[in-house]
Amino acid sequence: MAYDEKLADRVREYLSGIPGIEIEEKKMFSGMAFMVNGKMCVNISGENLMCRFDPALQEEIAEKKGFSPMIMKGNELMGYCYVHPEGCRSGRDLKYWVDLCLAFNSRAKSSKKKKAL
């Protein structure tokens, strides 16, 4: 599945303007993941933004325009969501979502590194 290159460029541009963070791009989840300081922060999945945020905020942000819960194996995955294009069309909206992800990034658990054989 291809991902929205224009949305990826917008996220890339926004993140590049933030001092003191290390950004790495990885293809995953059938899209482009933006790793911040070694942890998955925000992804572009198809035409949607996929966000990782503080699970305690789930109810609050569920009311935001474009929000869609992330469902995995029939269960809602707390702390993750998709944001449909209408929810991140403006620069202000995109900033809200990316800042939400960045705010959680320092507390987010990093995935275990695979050992080289």
Does a structural domain hold residue 95?
yes
pTM confidence score: 0.89
Whole domain around residue 65: which residue ranges?
5-105
Does a structural domain hold residue 24?
yes
Q: In this predicted model, what pLDDT tens digit does every residue of 23-75 receive, in sequence order?
A: 999 998 789 999 999 999 999 999 999 999 999 999 999 999 999 999 989 99
Q: In this predicted model, what pLDDT tens digit does every residue of 71-91 receive, in sequence order?
A: 989 999 999 999 999 999 999
Q: State the sign of the Cα–Cα–Cα–Cα dihedral 79, 16, 14, 49.
A: negative
- Who's near 88: CB < 8 A, 6+ residues apart? 7, 49, 66, 94, 97
Q: How many domains does the chain have?
A: 1
Do 47 and 78 touch, CB atoms closer than 8 A?
no
Instruction: State what percent of residues in the chain have pLDDT above 70.
Output: 92
Q: What is the CATH number of the domain that holds 77?
A: 3.90.1150.30
Rounded distance, CA 17 to CA 28, Å? 23
pLDDT at 10: 97
